[in-house]
Amino acid sequence: MSVTQSDSLIGSVLGGRYELIARVNRGGTAVVYRGIDRRLGRTVAVKVIHSDLSGDPDYAKRFDREARAAAILSHPNIVAVFDQGHAEERSYIVMEFIHGQSLRSIISSSAPLPPSLALTYAHEVAKALAAAHDADIIHRDIKPENILITNDGQVKVTDFGLAKNITSQTSTASQGVLMGTMSYIAPEIPQSGSAGKASDIYSMGIVMYEMLTGKKPHVGEDLSQVLYKHVHVDIPPPSQALEGPARTKVPDYVDALVTSCTSRNPDRRPVDGRHLEELIAKARRALDEGRMSDPKLVQEFASAAAPARTTAGAPDHSPHPALEVAEAKENTPVHPVVPVAATKLTTAKPHNPIRPGSIHSPAKTKRKRRPLVALIVALVLVLVVGGLSWWLAIGRWTSVPAVAGLSEQDARTQVAAQSLTLTTLPEYSETVAVGQVIRTDPQQGSRVRKGSTITAYISKGQERYPMPTVVGLSQDDAVAAILNNHLAQGTITQAWSETVPDGQVMSASQNPGASLKPNTPIDLTVSKGREPIPIDSYVGKTQDEATQGLTGAGFQVTTSEDNSASVPQGSVISQDPPSGNGFHGDTITLVISKGPVMVAVPTVWGMSRADATTALTQAGFVVTVKNVNPVGTPVGFAASTDPKAGAMAPQGSTVTLNIV
């Protein structure tokens, strides 16, 4: 279907009920739209088969099978199917709309994932597989694209288009290869054309490997090379694909679990989804307890093919009625089964009539008893068949008791009373007291087989983590300490500090030791070091003006004095440093003018003009000569000076020499 053809469906209403709003995904066989169920007013996902495939009976069967398989499996980890129909000769399925993203997008953006997160996702997928396998349905196409993560972290498995009943697992190899995804296909499928529960386990092992490493274990230039490796090459432990410190973060028992799931021999893998769920739960408990190595778990996972449940709790392999009928229609006619009791009654020969005089003969007595024996046999067979039917339909089933809020011991008692086994996993809760059951999986009231294992999540109380001491650490070290304590990085603000070195944390939004919820954002204030202060020049300004300006900016001021013929007394001759930037508390030195040097005018009366000029010049004055002889040409002797002899005058100032 082209984009134009796809978009042309937007705005249409399928089945008079489902309005298509927007296209959200396009696959090889169908397009998925976001729609509105006009009758119930809820958002739904509507999967519409491509127009060019609608006439292909194989694809039509696959499409119908997806709806049937998912509808049979009502489970919180499986995308719910609400409806199925046909519009304009094209099949469509109406499903639960998932607000979130696929595991593929998470792997692409964030892998390698931390082992704790990878196990959490894998555990939820295993629950979905357990529900499918308990109903004797195999998925056959487990891959990151078919695992969805909602915005609140719930895991949902989708796309049961390749799902088959366990009794119909011998589909052709070519069909499995063409329709499966090569990177996740189990070796037995291309080898024998047979897919079983262990095939789903293999695919899930590949998904776990990819979550832990960010890589697919087998790659090649074409699909045939990838297929060859699945059949002939063992998948290594995921830690070997990592480098440096990342390799040490994958515990040895997680390596063992993944290699067990991806064994090329199906008999060496966990037997089914329920078994895988139990093994992952054990790995999660070990990881929660901080164990990075556990030889006993490694040994257990390495021999994981041993059944994890008792025979009483293991599911039987009787085909699910809905898929049995569907598979029968797809493959061969179903031959009618004639009950044994009916056969007996039908083939019993009629006894001969009793003849007079023969009533006491043994032969006659024997013949007389034949109808009674046949009747008794028939009744016994009816009782046996009826009892067996009751056992298969009702007797072997029970329901999960309501144990939420009970202690673990009380929950075990209640579960045992229903002929079930209890396993536990710790989980934090904001509302349930420590040691009490939060919830069960399957949930209370669910119909399960006697002998099945029920998982109870036991409250560890409120999840709280202490606020680490981060003041004084570098920004990187502080953020690492926050994240390692399951808290989140908040806003980082930078500020000047006269005491905290550049790059160190000055303060945090929470006090050290405070008990905080996980992912609480922690705001940090980080020092930029000492704040630089511009140094203004006060040369030529008065001492008071300079001192007030510099101390007001945060500097210390020291002064000295010196004479200056050019700078008025009390003003700044110079400062050190003269300009640029300084820091709070730095010292600025000012040189304050005392004015010019004052010199006494020497007495030069009676000296010759030349001697008087010399004496005044040597005293530091500039000399000008003035003729004051009243009768004409001066004789050439000094008569007086201006200023007068003995007067104090600035050195370098001008003294007038009066000549007569």
Per the DSSP assignment, residues forming a β-bridge with 574 are: 591
E strand or H helix at 601, and its extent? none
What sign for the dihedral angle of Cα 261, 263, 268, 271? positive
Per the DSSP assignment, residues forming a β-bridge with 427 are: 459
CA dihedral 268, 254, 180, 121 (to 10 degrees): 130
Map residue 158 onto helix, strand or coil: coil
Catalytic residue from among 141, 200, 255, 441: 141
Cα separation, 256 vs 187, whole angstroms: 19
CB under 8 Å to 61, separation ≥6 — which residues? 330
Per the DSSP assignment, residues forming a β-bridge with 18 are: 14, 37
CB under 8 Å to 51, separation ≥6 — which residues? 1, 5, 90
What amino acid occupies position 497? Answer: S
E strand or H helix at 248, and its extent? helix 245-248
CB under 8 Å to 7, separation ≥6 — which residues? 23
CB under 8 Å to 479, separation ≥6 — which residues? 489, 524
DSSP per-residue codes, 457-517:
EEE--S--EEPPP-TTSBHHHHHHHHHHTT-EEEEEEEE--SSSPTTBEEEESS-TT-EE-
Cα separation, 13 vs 35, whole angstroms: 9
CA dihedral 645, 650, 651, 653 (to 10 degrees): -80
Residue 477 bears catalytic tag: no
Query: End-to-end distance of the chain based on CA atoms, in angstroms?
Result: 125
Which residues form the catalytic set?
A: 141
